[in-house]
Amino acid sequence: MSNLEIKTVKTGRDRMQFIKMPWAVYKNDPHWVPPIIFDQKSFINPKKGVFFEHGSARLFLALRDGKPVGRISAHINHMHDEIYNDGKGFFGFFECENDQETADILFKSAEEYLTAEKRKSVEGPMSFGIYDEIGLLIDGFDTDPYVLNVHNPAYYRTLVENAGYRKSVDWYAYRGATNQKVDDRMYRLKGRVMKQPGLTIRKINPKENFDRDAAIIKHIFGKAWDKNWGHVPLTDSEFNRIAKELTTLVVPDLSFIAEIDGRAIGFALSIYDANVAVKKINGRLFPFGFIKLLLNLKKTDRFRHILMGILEEYRYRGIEIAFYVNIAEQAYKLGFSEIEMSLIVENNDSMRNSLKHLPVEIYKTYRIYIKEL
């Protein structure tokens, strides 16, 4: 019998083992995109990670004969507690060999920690928060994930459900072709929308007035998403971290801010699918990975429409249609062939209904699970 044990991550060396553990799981998976090791080191470090300003976590490694074969985090988000007061704890960063015993010891360790912290249930995967990498991929395993979305083996679903977890909510990724001209009917709809008094739409350019536009996006995002499933406002540190990551990824011609009489009331943000470039550096920015990343970043013909927000009092005026038409028109001109629109929670009926008018379809589903403690 092999020796299976669990270890709590405490040192920098432990954290590096935690970060590098997935390479063994995905060594034969052509669709996996390695994380950037440098970024992960800061993100999970309690002394540096932005999550730890308002949360606490414990990381666990499963070892078989001394070799890492699984990992998980158990964490508590105090901002979530303030908003929902539902006693939830969370798990994330779940990776595991195809072995139920290994999965069970990981979940048991996470659950015991959360129980000791008086949590009533555990939900995940969220690594760490709702606007970080979330969900377990349960269909759509035959294509690469887009940037900032996850990929995992199909057997993870069995491991998680056999450990006693049930569905909490699903999130969808939509995909469509963009190498076709916009339907004339969509142009006519946009034309009517743009006749609203004082309405203008301008491009976002991260090289110009970045701080101004970032502040606009943060304000609208916080207001427009406050009723979304599981929403927890981003702290300044969290937003700044995300903004810094996205600055080099934003496609200016596919990102817009809508204004009425000079007041910003909505935005649409699209980014290059950096995963095409990230795969080529195998998670290592140094010594030459950063150069390779920059050289390949904008060669992709795929982009992700990652965020859209419209202030509540300006919804149902068709502004999202104007955004969609602008994105489709410009994507065609720029030579992009594919768009992913993600992630969209299953109960966001208004967004999902608007997507029915576009040539996109659900091709990946990411599930968040829950278990009572």
pLDDT mean for each 10 residues of the chain (373 residues) = 89 96 96 92 96 97 96 98 97 98 98 98 97 97 96 98 98 91 82 95 86 92 91 93 86 95 96 85 64 68 94 92 92 93 94 85 98 98
User: Is 357 a member of any domain?
Assistant: no
Q: What is the pLDDT of residue 291?
A: 57
Q: 41, 15 in Cβ contact below 8 A? A: yes
Closest CA relative to residue 346, chosen from 320, 371, 367, 324: 367
Rounded Cα distance between 121 and 168, Å, is 11
User: Is 16 a member of any domain?
Assistant: yes
Based on the fold, state whether residues 144 and 218 are members of the same structural domain: no
Based on the fold, state whether residues 90 and 211 are members of the same structural domain: no
Q: 303, 276 in Cβ contact below 8 A? A: no
Q: What is the pLDDT of residue 295?
A: 62
User: Is 79 a member of any domain?
Assistant: yes
User: Is 371 a member of any domain?
Assistant: no
Last residue of a domain, one of 117, 138, 173: 173
Rounded Cα distance between 169 and 347, Å, is 9
Based on the fold, state whether residues 155 and 199 are members of the same structural domain: no
User: Is 240 a member of any domain?
Assistant: yes
User: Is 192 a member of any domain?
Assistant: yes
Last residue of a domain, one of 115, 146, 173: 173
Q: What region does 18 belong to: left with phi over 0, alpha with psi -120 to 50, or beta?
A: alpha
Domain containing 74 equals 4-173
Q: What is the pLDDT of residue 287?
A: 55
Based on the fold, state whether residues 161 and 187 are members of the same structural domain: no
User: Is 347 a member of any domain?
Assistant: no
Based on the fold, state whether residues 141 and 186 are members of the same structural domain: no
Based on the fold, state whether residues 288 and 322 are members of the same structural domain: yes
Looking at the 3D structure of the chain, how many domains does it have? 2
Which of 186-222 are b and which e, b meaning 16 or more Cβ less than 10 Å from the residue's Cβ? beebbeebbeeeebebeebebeeeeeebbebbbebbe
Rounded Cα distance between 25 and 21, Å, is 8
Based on the fold, state whether residues 169 and 42 are members of the same structural domain: yes
Residue 47: which CATH number? 3.40.630.30
Based on the fold, state whether residues 152 and 200 are members of the same structural domain: no
Based on the fold, state whether residues 187 and 314 are members of the same structural domain: yes
Based on the fold, state whether residues 56 and 143 are members of the same structural domain: yes
Based on the fold, state whether residues 51 and 185 are members of the same structural domain: no
Last residue of a domain, one of 173, 196, 224: 173
Based on the fold, state whether residues 212 and 105 are members of the same structural domain: no
User: Is 41 a member of any domain?
Assistant: yes
Q: What is the pLDDT of residue 280?
A: 74
Q: What is the pLDDT of residue 285?
A: 67
